[in-house]
Chain A
């Protein structure tokens, strides 16, 4: 089955700096890669996703890149703000597989 690894487990950045979270996956058949944000005490919510037919997708301050050959994908947050502080989970799935999550990255944006 699919295995998703996520790094780093914790990340501290200063407000205004960029943050990058990286994930690798094992199943070459995976073709959908969502990212979820979970604020303290809340449920995870989708912030951006990418399908395997594109290499990059942007939505305002967040972007995701996908390298199918290397089987890794990354989340980039620019101009970080205190409200970006949360736990971020990457995930991967394919047409015949379940949604498999990474272990999460706790992002702390300091003033």
Chain B
């Protein structure tokens, strides 16, 4: 595809269940970011992958959150034992390098009921 693709677009889950969010970055982009955005709020950094380097996980809010990037391409963000405060839009972005434009996906709106 031409842009960053995220799936699903919307996800409603029950409290306590695990969820997986997927991000397909632009082909060839070595940098991949996950951000979380609550309604009307800013972009909260979660995790950053750059090439083959160890990911920067400093933004993950708890050990219920994890992410991986397989083969330097597709990334999945997993949230275990979801809580209501996890409800937000999860945005993925990719860029050719750290110093170039980051392109965002359309986001996954997660609602925990």
**Could you list which residues of chain A lie within 8 angstroms of chain B, going by C-beta atoms?**
1, 31-32, 34, 43-46, 49, 51, 89, 93-104
Contacts and interface: CB of A to CB of B under 8 A. Distances in A.
A44 B104 contact: yes
A72 to B, nearest CB: 19
B106 interface: yes
B56 interface: yes
Contacts of A93: 98-99
A100 B104 CA distance: 14
Nearest to A46: B101
- Shortest 4 CB-CB contacts between residues of A and residues of B: A32-B99, A98-B48, A43-B104, A101-B43
Nearest to B43: A101
A98 B33 contact: yes
Task: Give the interface size bracket for B toward A.
Answer: 20 to 34
Contact of A44 (B41, B43, B45): B43
A82 B19 CA distance: 39
Interface string B38-49: 000111010010
Contacts of B105: 43
B88 interface: no
A85 to B, nearest CB: 14
Given A34-B101, A98-B45, A43 B58 contact: no
A101 B35 CA distance: 10
